Structure formats: C-alpha cells, structure tokens
Amino acid sequence: MENNKCKDCGLSSPQESIEVMRRKTDAIIDRIGTSREKIIPLLQAIQQEFNYLPSDAIERLYERTDIDRAQLISVSSFYSQFRMVPYGKHVIKVCIGTACHVKGANNVYDAFKRELAIGEDSVTTADQQYSIEKVACLGCCALAPVVQIDNKIFGHVQPGRVREVLVEFESMLSASEQDKASEGLQDQIQGEVRLGMENCCQASGTAEVHAAVVAACKDLGINIRIKPISCVGACNQVPLIDVATLDGSIIRYPNIKPEEVKEILLHHFRPASRLRRLRNAILNQIDTFHTDQTWDNILFTPEKERTQSINTFLNGQHRITTEGFGHLNPLDIDEYISLGGFDALKKALEAMTRQQIIDEVLKSGIRGRGGGGFPTGRKWQLVADNQKAAYVICNGDEGDPGAFMDRILLESYPLRVIEGMIIAAYAVGAVEGVFYIRAEYPQAVIRIRKALDLCRQKGLLGKQILGTDFSFDIRVFEGAGAFVCGEETALIASIEGKRGFPHLRPPYPAQSGLFGQPTLINNVETLSQIAYIIRQGADEYRKVGTEGSRGTKVFALAGKVNHGGLIEVPMGTTLRQIVDEIGGGVEGGEALKAVQTGGPSGGCMPAELCDAEVDFDALNQMGAIMGSGGLVVLSESSCMVDVARYFLNFTSEESCGKCTFCRVGIRRMLDILDRLSTGQAKMEDIDRLEELALAIKRSALCGLGKTAPNPVLSTLRYFRHEYEEHVQGICRTGSCKHMVKLQITDDCVGCTKCARSCPSEAIAYAPYEKHVIDTEKCTQCGLCIDECDYNAIKKVKK
Amino acid sequence: MKIIVNDKELEVSGQRVLIDELREVGCDIPSLCYASGANHQASCMVCMVRNVANDQMLPSCSTYPVEGMHIDTESDDVKALRRMSLELLLSDHRADCEAPCSMVCPAGIDLARLILLYDRGQMSEAQSLLASQTDLNNLPCADCKGGCEKVCRRGTVDKCVDIKNIIKEISVSKVTAMDGGRQSSNSGRQVADKKFSSKLGRFTESEKAWLKEVYTQPSRCLHCACEGQDKCKLRTYASQAGIKSSRYGVASRQIVKEQQHIVGRLYFEPAKCVRCGLCVYNSQDGFTFQHRGFDMQVVIPEQSRSHVDEHLAQLCPTGALFLK
C-alpha cells in the first residue's frame, strides 16, 4: 500500500507521502467542513483524491472533524461507492442492470476477468492497471450490455468484443491528449449540427462523431455551430446528428459513422474557398474509390431507410417532460427562456398565491412519478400546512436497474426540473433545496451544477428571486450507492450523514423530514411536469391520460426490443402499443413473453395482459407497479425464474438490513430461488416461497421491503408452471446454467470457428470433424453459439 | 383518544407507543428490539400488530396510536407472522441454547454447569451441585451408555470431552470443609425440556481448526450452553410460539463461538446477535453497524471498547452480549 501512495505523489519515503496525504486531506476538510453530516461528501472527496479511503486519511478525519469511528464504519460500509483497498489505475464497471442482465452481462464480466487474467478472489490486475466491478445500473439500458471504463462508456459489449473494447480504450488514452484547439471560427455561420451528448449517446460513438464533425469543419473550412442537444430518446438509433441549415430545414441522420460525417457536411455546406472545394472533390474521389462507396449510397438512399424506423419510434409519443427533445440545448438558458422557459415561474411568483399554485397542481391530478403515485398536490398541501421553513428535495436517486429516465431528464432538461423545483419551493414556503443525484450519474451532476449557476446569474435562484421577496437556493448532494436511498426517509438519513436506514412513517417527511424540518420530496419527473401545469393550466394537463392517472409518463424502454430508448407517452397507452409500435416489436422476431415494469419493486406482466392500459391503478391490480418507469421487454427466450431470482438477488444486496423480514426474509427467498435455478428444489419450496413473499409484503418496514417480493409474486401468479418445471430440472430457455449444457449437433461441418472462439478451450480444434464440447471446461458464455454459422450448437437439458 | 383493540374500545393518551398501552391492559406483546426508556428503532418486527383498516402489519414498539385506529393483536394471522419473524431470526442464529450433553443425560445432571465449574477450578461448587442432582456414592454413569459423550460437539472437532471421567473426578475429589458448605437448591433441569432449544449445526473445517486452537482448558469442553440463557427473550418467545426448530434451517454466515472481550465482565458473541441495534443506539461511539442487508453486523472497534459499559448486557435481548 505504502508503495502505491508513493507512486501517486512521486515521493520516495513513506513518511513524506503520509505528510502529503495529510495535507491533501486537510485541504478537503477545509473545503467541505467538519460536522458529522458532511461525512459522505468528505469520503467522496477523499476517495476521488486517493482512489480509495486510505487509513491515514481516515485517521485525519477522526482528528479534525466531529466524525467518530462508529459513524465512519457505519456509513462507509453501508454505501457501495466506498472502498477501503486501493483499486487499479482504471476501473471497469460492468453494468448488471436488468436490460444488461437479460443480454448476458455476467458473461461479459467473466470475459473481462479472463481477458485481464484477474484471479477468482481478486478484482484488480497484478500490474494494478485495471480493477473490475459490477454496478447496479449505468442507465444506458438501450445499449445493453454496457461497460464503463473510467468515464468512457461502451455499448453492446458482447463477451467476444472484450479485447476490442480494451484496445479501443487504450488507444483513446493515448489520443486524448491531442486535438483540443479547434474552436472559434468567427465568420458567418452557415448552419448547425446537433448531436446528443448524454452518457449513453457518447457510449455509442457520438463522441467520435463529434470529433469527426469538428475535424471535418476545420478541414473543409465550413463554419457551422456544433450544438450539444437534449436527448431525442431514440437510443437505438445513435449516433444521430441533425443538420440544420439556414433555410430552417432539419435533416436527421441516425446511425451514422464518423467516416460519413464529411460527406454529409459537404452535401449541406459549401467549403470556404474554391481551392478547398477542388481539393476536397479530388480527395473524395479517392476516398470513394477506396471504400467502394458512392455519394448516393451514403447520403440519399439510406437516409429514408434509416429514418423510417425512427419516425415510427417518435410517433405516438406526447411531450411534456421531454418538450423540446432533440433541439433544446440543455445548458442554453436563453434558448430555454425564449421558448417559454421560466414563464411558469414568473406566473407563479407574480400572479398566483401559494394556495392557488397548490390548488392548480392538485386539480391537474398529477401523481408522484417516483413509484408510489401519491397525488403531488396533496403532498404539497401537507408540507405547506406546517407554517415552518421547509426543505424541497428533488429525488434523483434513480436506482432501479433498467431505468434511466431521471438521468436523461437531469442531463437533457436540467432547467425544466429546476424551474419545477423553484415553483414547488415557493408554493410550500421552502428556504433551501437539495438535488439528490446518485453517484453513478456524474454527467447529470455536472449539468445540474452548471444549470444552477446559470439560474443564479439570471436571478432565478438566490435572494429575492425575480425581484420578489422570495429567496431560495439549491445545492447538490451526490448519493453514494444505495438503492434504498430512493426511499424518502432513507434519502433524508443519508443527507444527514447517516446510514440509509428508512424509518417508520409517520412521522412523514412532510411533518418532520430533513433535520427535523418539514420536507417536500418529489421525483425528477414529477418536478419536470410542474412548469407545464402552471404555464398551460391544470385543465390542459388533465386532457391527457386516464381518469385516475393524468398526464404523460416517461418510460425507459429496454430489454429484448428492437428500438429501445426513452419515450414519453400519455397515461393509458397499452404496453403492446409501446412494444410493437414504438419499440418496433421484440428483438429477433421472437414472441413477446412479458414486460417487466417497475424494476425490483414491480412485476412481470404476461403478454396476454399487455393490451391493458397502463396507469398507476391498472398496474397495481395486475400485481406490478408503475415504479419509476423502467420497461424491460422479455421474450420467449427469457426464463421467468431467472428474472425473479435476478431481482431478489438485487434487493437482498440492496436491503438496508434493518428489519427482520427484509434482511433475513428476502435472503431465505433467494435461498429457495437458488435451489430452483440449480434444480435442487422440491415442490413444497414453491409454497414456502409464496408464503414468505406474502409475509414480507405485509410486514417489512419500508417500501423497498414491502415491494421486494413483487417480482416473485407476479411470476408465480402468471408463470407458476415454469417454477414447477424447474423443480423437475427443466429450464426451457437455458438461462439457468446448472440445468443445461451446450451440445454440438450433427449440423456441424467442422469449420473450427467455435473452437477458435472458445475462451475456456472447451472445444478441441478438429478441422472437418464434428466438434465436441467438454462440459467440464465450458462456462456457457455462449460465444460459440454466436460464432457458429450453421446453428449447430444447442442448449440441452443436462 | 379512543382506539379499538381486538374489537374492544381502549382509551389512550396518544403520547405513548402502542406496545406500552397494550401491555398495560394485559396484552402479551413480545418484543426484542424495544426496551422501555432506551433509544431504539423498530427492527425485529416480533411485536407486530395488524392494522385492520389496511391489513398491514405495524411494529407496535414504534407506532403511536391515532384516533379511531383499529388493531388486532391476537388473531392467528398475527401470531403466524410473529412466529415467522422469530423463525427468520433463528435461521441466522448460530448457537446452542443448551449444551447437547445436558440435553441427553438420562439422569438429568446439569453437565454443562458442572464442567464449567470444573474448568474454573471451583471443585467444591461442582461437587455440591452434583450432590444435589445425584448420589455421589452411586453414580448413574456406571451403567450409562454415555450419550453425553456421543453428542459432545468437541467430538466433531477432534475427540469428545471425557465427561464420564470428569464426573467421577468431581464426585471423589476431596473438598475442604470451608468450600463444601453451600447446598445448591438446583434440582435438575426438567423445565428446560419443554423450552425451545436452538442448535448451532455443523462446524466448518476452518471453524474446527480455530476451535482446537482456542479451547484448551483442562476439560477441552467448548461450553456450548449459552451464557445468556436466563435473560434470552428470543428463546422465551420461541418457546411461547411453540417453535421446535426454524423451518428455514440455519444458514448463518456468522463464525460460531467467537467471543470478544469488550470491557470489564462484558463479552460479545456475534453469532447470537439479532441486529436489533439496542447496543448501537445506546452507546456513544461504541457499538456500530457494519455493511448492509443480510451481511449487516454489529461490531465494535478495539479503540472504542472503553466507551461502553456492562449495563448493555441487560439491554441485549439474546445471549450475544453477556457478563462472564
């Protein structure tokens, strides 16, 4: 350990490096503070500085702050972000969210470990270059399986692509130092190229396209504005650019490659000088010759083909939360204002009383988008009735694996969320606001921070907002990795510097919340709809949706669907419409089996119920919940026992551990599911599982525990026969590895492709002979199945 | 204000938690994580009552009555769920209530206590205890097949404790008149038979190696019997609920018999802890929680042991914290 530190600070003796560490730690403490509630920001800063929590830095905390050992152990071991051992230089995070799970994330994790020769018990390479970890969800579900290395996200990472990804990452490391000086062409602007620059867009190559656009402009001497924009939601069609010319037309190019950029730009914009035009013409001829692609080929024919699916994806959607999708620059406050942004705030502050605002929200019928569906207006009223200074918290701790709505809303529409929050604060009489954003969303944190600064500069935050006597400001609190902190009382505990233990309600946060003050907690999406309600009026909002659930809902569509992405549809749209019409049907032409809604708290809706209209009450009745809005599509090749086990595994790891039913009960359910998926269960285990599930649902202390059995209860309700088959040792989909083995059929022609691709050398290299899989060595990663051109490898019962 | 408890009206102040109100009127509500007057947070869920209005279960130790509340404390439904909470806790509780040797002794001799006194060198107490339970001159062991040695847990580690010989040694040892005077009023342990008795299950290989290293007293006895027997609420309630053994097996990851000296006479055995948190909430920079979920444990760092005192043993609802 000592040696490591020295390498970091470049000093030779351990004493000196401890001295440096103390100085750095002191600087962090001076910056952040010494009170107990600062523990999470302090630990985050220390970990960012040293890459882990070194014991010498911790000792310094004991010496200089109010934090004691009991608190430190309690907090640092509760949140999954913190680590006590040094990690390698680069951290590989393999997403095991729902969408990634159903697409084989565990095989990807294993493949990285094999490729990097990381031992069974270790997570770091011998040369300390890479560490690997599984993370709950990176929120890029439409690109599953997803892997993040440092800040770079890679989408569609199959086990066979692991080496390629590492090579790409390392080549980027060496290249990143170059090209940074290509901005500021002042002349006449000829138009605009717009690209989505969210985490997930960057993951699928938009960063490279962005670089290509910059390079091409420089090269061609074209002077255009390159504008990062809000998410279009068509995550399946990225990289995607919009070219806006001066005549106002916008042409959209989905699925483009960096090498196509130049052609596209040349098609729309005239290079600066004749000479350049000429040179480019010649160069292009050479390019065309070499790549065997004609102009037409790249630009015209495919454009229509390519845009067709995206148009069906975008039809049928209704924009309130994501109004301005695809053209709004997330951090251009003037643009936001020019499009009616902050009109609602002005209206609220200047023309409405607090009670009028609350009444309007109440009348709109909007219900909380975080999962529970509690009427937002009633919540506001409860807080406002207290007559005490209150807090407003925006809950951006979106932890559901398989959901990424909040991340995109925070990254794409930060100003809209902030506007909603200021209106809420004014209505309930709050003095301070907190954005609680989970640590896995660094881009969202950066954007919100910038957006808050912009608002302060415009006098929209701070003292005497818009010249009224209303003062309010917002700070950002980064979560530290705990799903349970999405529960409002646990979230508050975490801001107060404690373990994320929920406590029994009542008292509700509306009466006694953050630091004992009345506190309003609303979800990101809820707040993002407030401005619309105030600006357009409750009546307008009520026109959309169903009787019990008004307005629109943003969903993260992922899993085995052709076009995943972020969508916003009116409440009451059916699941089948979403999957078939917006999502373009199930991937690979398979039959729809179920749609999982609401993440680990939700349930699986079988295909036959997918014609029901989706709103809060309908889903509850069917044993699922709306949740925050993750929709994971499951096809006939998804095993429902495996899906249930996956979620229970998640909740058992994320349980806070406070109450018996959640801590021990969920573990015991998982024991039974483990037995089921390995073929060791008995029939009575299914009854016992159900009994436990029903008991936990009624008796657990908080929302996480009470809803954790839902994935099991709903699959038991609609797919009980699959559980019974598992007792008999049958898993038809081959998802439960212990029950199946891979076998090569007589269709094998002996091409050796599988043998060459097998990472565990389970297939002997035998040209022109029928290949054989050594079951002992086989890890069932499935690479050979993908490689085989003759469809000759099958999963069969063991 | 008025609330309804099992269809009867009850007048309450609203200032006290439900469990206090209910116990006062004679409802027998079990609870582990609650101690009147001490800091606490609802966790064990053993004190659950049913809110008739919405069928949800409420921890009565942390719920304040509200006007018109309708509570059910004694239906089979409620009892079954309380029982389940106990069974779940027991499935993560790696301990023996009673020593197996004592449980099987046909003569009902309190072998566990005898061997404990023997190991402490308190031969006269041992002898008088033995005398109170059997005839010293005519030991029943002579004709006995020695079930005690067969079930001895030490036997699964290496070789069982030589129990019969130890009894013999106690019976014939010469004790001075000064030590020998006290008569034990303890007459066997018939009561224990009807009680619930937790079993710790099998040792793992690493535990065996560890036990061999640590348990080196004259008898080599592992002293399986729980030190917290007399005060253990978990056992009392499990007995009342008629639990024989947990239906969920014992699948704890706790290391068995790991007893840490805390301060003075206070010891801590994590394998018996039910994570109720009473010791955490009632110590300042002392006991604390570590990790989360099923892996959550109560720990106390070396440097903080002086921050706690012996009274915590009384708060602990099981034998996890005890005085030696």
The CATH number covering residue A422 comes to: 3.40.50.11540
Whole-angstrom distance, CA of residue A518 vs CA of residue A431? 11
Q: Which residue has the higher pLDDT, A10 or A658?
A: A658
Look at A70 and B285 and tell me if their CB atoms are within 8 Å.
Answer: yes
pLDDT of amino acid A214? 82
Residues A765, A698 share a domain: no
Indicate whether A512 belongs to any domain.
Answer: yes
Residues A469, A407 share a domain: yes
Domain B2-74 CATH (choose: 3.10.20.740, 3.40.50.150, 3.40.190.10, 3.65.10.10): 3.10.20.740
For B93, list phi and psi in degrees, rounded to 5: -130, 100
Pairing of strands A390-396, A250-253: unpaired
pLDDT at B74 over 70: yes
Three-state DSSP class for A357?
A: helix
Cβ neighbours of residue A193 under 8 Å, at least 6 residues apart?
A: A213, A224, A225, A226, A227, A241, A242, A243, A244, A265
Q: What is the pLDDT of residues A72-83, one digit of tens each?
A: 999 999 999 999
Residues A715, A689 share a domain: yes
pLDDT at A296 over 70: no
Q: What is the pLDDT of residues B189-202, one digit of tens each?
A: 444 557 899 888 88
pLDDT of amino acid A30? 97
Judge contact between A636 and A464, C-beta under 8 A: no
pLDDT of amino acid A275? 55
Interface of B with A in 222-261 (CB under 8 A): 247-248, 251
Tokens of A582: 């917006």
Q: What is the pLDDT of residues A525-568, one digit of tens each?
A: 999 999 999 999 999 999 999 999 999 999 988 889 888 888 89
For A519, list phi and psi in degrees, rounded to 5: -135, 130
pLDDT of amino acid B179? 46
Indicate whether A84 belongs to any domain.
Answer: no
Taking the CA of residue B44 and the nearest CA in chain A, the distance in Å comes to 5
Beta bridge partners of A253: A241
Q: Tell me the mean pLDDT in the region A301-309.
A: 42
Short-list A625, A604, A560, CA closest to A722 = A604
- A&B contacts, CB < 8 Å: 121
Nearest CA in chain B to A651: B293
Judge contact between A557 and A582, C-beta under 8 A: yes
DSSP string, A647-707: HHHHHHHH--S-SHIIIIIHHHHHHHHHHHHTT---HHHHHHHHHHHHHHHHH-SSHHHHH
Residues of chain A with Cβ-Cβ distance to B43 below 8 Å are: 658-660, 701
Residues A344, A430 share a domain: yes
Whole-angstrom distance, CA of residue B265 vs CA of residue A755? 66
Residues of chain A with Cβ-Cβ distance to B303 below 8 Å are: 69
Q: Which residue has the higher pLDDT, A355 or A152?
A: A355
CATH number reported for the structural domain that contains residue A165 in this entry: 3.40.30.10
pLDDT of amino acid A345? 97
pLDDT of amino acid A144? 83
pLDDT at A685 over 60: yes
Query: Three-class SS string for B165-203?
Result: HHHHHHHHCCCCHHHHCCCCCCCCCHHHHHCCCCCCCCC
Residues A56, A138 share a domain: no
Q: What is the pLDDT of residues A492-531, one digit of tens each?
A: 999 999 999 999 988 999 999 999 999 999 999 999 999 9
Whole-angstrom distance, CA of residue A212 vs CA of residue A206? 9
Any CB–CB contact under 8 A between B196 and chain A?
no
> Which of A61, A74, A664 is most worth mutating to test chain B (most B CB atoms within 10 A of its CB)?
A664
Residues of chain B with Cβ-Cβ distance to A666 below 8 Å are: 294
Residues A444, A353 share a domain: yes
Any CB–CB contact under 8 A between B206 and chain A?
no
pLDDT of amino acid B174? 80
Tokens of B106: 């046909």
Residues A598, A577 share a domain: yes
pLDDT at A343 over 90: yes
Look at A664 and B88 and tell me if their CB atoms are within 8 Å.
Answer: yes
Residues A616, A479 share a domain: no
Indicate whether A455 belongs to any domain.
Answer: yes
Residues of chain B with Cβ-Cβ distance to A652 below 8 Å are: 293-294
Domain of residue A300 covers 191-312
What is chain A's percent helix, strand, coil content, to nearest 5? 50, 15, 35
Of A488-497, A560-569, B24-33, which range is least confident?
A560-569
Cβ neighbours of residue A205 under 8 Å, at least 6 residues apart?
A: A238, A239, A257, A258
Compare CB distances from B294 to A77, A659, A667 and report the shortest one's residue: A667
Beta bridge partners of B201: none
pLDDT of amino acid A413? 93
User: Which sign does the torsion angle of CA B16, B18, B22, B23 carry?
Assistant: negative
Indicate whether A415 belongs to any domain.
Answer: yes
pLDDT at A627 over 70: yes
Residues of chain B with Cβ-Cβ distance to A661 below 8 Å are: 45, 85, 88
Number of Cβ atoms within 10 Å of the Cβ of A30: 10
State which of A674, A699, A727 marks the end of a domain.
Answer: A727
Distances (CA, A) of B5 to B10, B11, B13, B51: 7, 10, 14, 10
Residues A522, A382 share a domain: yes
Residues of chain B with Cβ-Cβ distance to A482 below 8 Å are: 292
pLDDT of amino acid A576? 93
Number of Cβ atoms within 10 Å of the Cβ of B315: 17
For residue B185, name the pLDDT band (cuts at 50, 70, 90). very low
Q: What is the pLDDT of residues A386-407, one digit of tens each?
A: 988 899 999 999 888 878 889 8
pLDDT of amino acid A278? 54
Q: Which residue has the higher pLDDT, A153 or A612?
A: A612
pLDDT of amino acid B186? 46
Q: What is the pLDDT of residues A195-214, one digit of tens each?
A: 877 777 777 778 888 888 88
pLDDT at A670 over 60: yes
Interface of B with A in 258-317 (CB under 8 A): 274-275, 277, 280, 283-296, 299, 301, 303-304
Of A513-517, A716-720, B79-83, B213-217, which range is least confident?
B213-217
Which residues make up the CATH 3.10.20.740 domain(s) of chain B? 2-74
Of A182-196, A722-736, B113-127, B228-242, which range is least confident?
A182-196
Three-state DSSP class for A134?
A: strand
Specify the pTM.
0.87
Three-state DSSP class for A541?
A: helix
Three-state DSSP class for A789?
A: coil
Q: Give the H/E segment covering residue A577.
A: none
Short-list B28, B26, B10, CA closest to B66 = B10
Q: What is the pLDDT of residues B302-317, one digit of tens each?
A: 999 999 999 999 999 9
Q: What is the pLDDT of residues A407-440, one digit of tens each?
A: 889 999 999 999 999 999 999 999 999 999 988 8
Beta bridge partners of A595: A605, A633
Whole-angstrom distance, CA of residue A623 vs CA of residue A619? 6
Look at A664 and B92 and tell me if their CB atoms are within 8 Å.
Answer: yes
* Most confident by average pLDDT, A169-183, A277-291, A546-560: A546-560
pLDDT of amino acid A2? 41
Beginning with the edge strand found earlier in the chain, give each strand of the sheet holding B2-5 in spatial order.
Answer: B8-11, B2-5, B70-72, B48-51, B56-59
| Mean pLDDT, rounded, of chain A | 86
Residues of chain A with Cβ-Cβ distance to B53 below 8 Å are: none
Short-list B127, B228, B110, CA closest to B169 = B127
Total count of domains within chain A: 6
CATH number reported for the structural domain that contains residue A777 in this entry: 3.30.70.20
Of A55-59, A443-447, B318-322, which range is least confident?
A443-447
Residues of chain A with Cβ-Cβ distance to B286 below 8 Å are: 70
Residues A567, A531 share a domain: no
State the amino acid at position A201 in one-letter form: C
Whole-angstrom distance, CA of residue A268 vs CA of residue A275? 18
Whole-angstrom distance, CA of residue B46 vs CA of residue B60? 9
Short-list A579, A581, A607, CA closest to A594 = A607
For residue A219, name the pLDDT band (cuts at 50, 70, 90). confident
Half-sphere exposure of A691 (CA within 13 A, CB side): 16
pLDDT of amino acid A288? 34
Q: What is the pLDDT of residues A111-152, one digit of tens each?
A: 899 889 998 888 999 988 999 998 877 777 777 888 989 878
Taking the CA of residue A673 and the nearest CA in chain B, the distance in Å comes to 13
Whole-angstrom distance, CA of residue A614 vs CA of residue A611? 9
Q: Give the H/E segment covering residue A213.
A: helix A207-220
State the amino acid at position A162 in one-letter form: V
Look at B301 and A503 and tell me if their CB atoms are within 8 Å.
Answer: no
Beta bridge partners of B5: B8, B71
- What percent of chain A has pLDDT above 90? 54
Distances (CA, A) of A336 to A315, A332, B155, B317: 24, 6, 78, 60
Short-list A529, A541, A549, A540, CA closest to A423 = A529
pLDDT at B130 over 70: yes
For residue A319, name the pLDDT band (cuts at 50, 70, 90). confident
Whole-angstrom distance, CA of residue A39 vs CA of residue A498? 8
Look at B85 and A73 and tell me if their CB atoms are within 8 Å.
Answer: no
Short-list B112, B109, B106, B127, CA closest to B189 = B109
Look at A664 and B89 and tell me if their CB atoms are within 8 Å.
Answer: yes
> Which of A75, A503, A668 is most worth mutating to test chain B (most B CB atoms within 10 A of its CB)?
A668
Of A59-63, A157-161, A355-359, A595-599, which range is least confident?
A157-161
Look at B293 and A657 and tell me if their CB atoms are within 8 Å.
Answer: yes
Residues of chain B with Cβ-Cβ distance to A501 below 8 Å are: 41
Taking the CA of residue A497 and the nearest CA in chain B, the distance in Å comes to 14
Q: Which residue has the higher pLDDT, A559 or A356?
A: A356
Look at A663 and B293 and tell me if their CB atoms are within 8 Å.
Answer: yes
Tokens of A84: 């006590």
Cβ neighbours of residue A192 under 8 Å, at least 6 residues apart?
A: A224, A225, A226, A227, A243, A244
For residue A281, name the pLDDT band (cuts at 50, 70, 90). low
Three-state DSSP class for A183?
A: coil
Indicate whether A585 belongs to any domain.
Answer: yes
Compare CB distances from B42 to A71, A504, A666 and report the shortest one's residue: A504
Look at A658 and B41 and tell me if their CB atoms are within 8 Å.
Answer: yes
pLDDT of amino acid B35? 94
For residue A182, name the pLDDT band (cuts at 50, 70, 90). very low
Whole-angstrom distance, CA of residue A211 vs CA of residue A213? 5
Residues A713, A743 share a domain: no
Residues A556, A538 share a domain: no
State which of A76, A98, A128 marks the end of a domain.
Answer: A76
pLDDT of amino acid A274? 55
